Amino acid sequence: MTRPEAVATQLIDDDRVRVTRFDFAPGAETGWHRHGFDYVITAITDCHMLLQMPDGDTRRTTVPAGAAYARQAGIEHNVVNDGDQPMAFVEVELK
């Protein structure tokens, strides 16, 4: 079974930052990716996420609308909308 793909809309891409909005239908995913830069995520909606890790581990987490978190470069994962409503967040990558 294949999942629909999240829609990535690039908002800014300059020498210092890349800002991308991600919109997910229920069940949509980013696809497997590795982060090349440190980054910050800010949830636009409540985000019920299923995080799939390369070692086969999965984690479920909820990031409330308006909340943010930061991670370092090198993270590899697939992010899936694990809820029954659309979800959206903005990712700011620090170049």
Find the domain containing 28 and state its range.
7-94
User: In this structure, what token pair is assigned to residue 3?
Assistant: 């999942």
Is residue 18 in a domain? yes
What global pTM score does this model have?
0.95
CATH number at residue 33: 2.60.120.10
Is residue 35 in a domain? yes
Supply the pLDDT for residue 2. 84
Overall number of domains in the chain: 1
Amino acid at 85: Q
For residue 1, is pLDDT > 70? no
Which residues pair with residue 74 across a beta bridge? Answer: none
Is residue 21 in a domain? yes
As a whole number, mean pLDDT of residues 61-89 equals 98
Count of residues making up the chain: 95
Per-residue pLDDT tens digits for 24-65: 999 999 999 999 999 999 999 999 999 999 999 999 999 999
Map residue 53 onto helix, strand or coil.
coil
